[in-house]
Amino acid sequence: MFAAGLTTSAGSTTLPLCALVGGAGARIHIREFWVFNTTATATSLVFCRLSTAGTPGTAATTRALDTSEPQTAVGVLRNTYTSTAPTTTELGMGFPLGAAIGSGVMPTFAHGEFVIPATAAAAVGILVDTGGTGQAVRVTVKWEET
């Protein structure tokens, strides 16, 4: 099990606030995807699938939660995308965040329920929902790789 976290920029309806990016080395099974507002302005966000690379922000530090885990993570949590938008598909899983610092969600997923395929540029990210206003959020993702 791996984890990474970061604080995003505002993002938009086309530039993801962040994305967990996979690769050919493993399928990534997302287990938890925490998202918390860092501002006092409400926002509405939606999960999306990415199928092209776009221009992601910096990579967060990935940590193995089991320190005896010899494997290096394939998945990389990337910060807010800039300039070139990736190709995205909304997944129908949206969530509002209230107008308070700390307002958030912590969705959890069973193994195999929310998977990034072992394909270059495949990712799952967060977009601002249609008609929404982007805000900086704090994100933590936990995942397994097979």
Instruction: Parse the chain into domains and list their residue ranges.
Output: 2-145
- In the predicted model, what is the mean pLDDT of residues 71-91? 94
Q: What is the mean pLDDT of the chain?
A: 95
Closest-CA residue to 123 (of 45, 43, 59): 59
Residue 91: burial class (beta carbons within 10 Å; 0-12, 13-18, 19+): middle
118-144 pLDDT, tens digit each: 999 999 999 999 888 899 999 999 999
Q: How confident is the model at residue 66 (pLDDT cuts 50, 70, 90)?
A: confident
Residues 6+ apart with CB under 8 A from 70: none
12-38 pLDDT, tens digit each: 999 999 999 999 999 999 999 999 999
Question: To which H or E segment does residue 143 belong?
Answer: strand 137-145
Residue 70 has pLDDT above 80, yes or no: no
- In the predicted model, what is the mean pLDDT of residues 95-102? 96
pLDDT of residue 73: 94
- In the predicted model, what is the mean pLDDT of residues 66-95? 92
Q: How confident is the model at residue 86 (pLDDT cuts 50, 70, 90)?
A: very high
Question: To which H or E segment does residue 90 belong?
Answer: strand 88-97
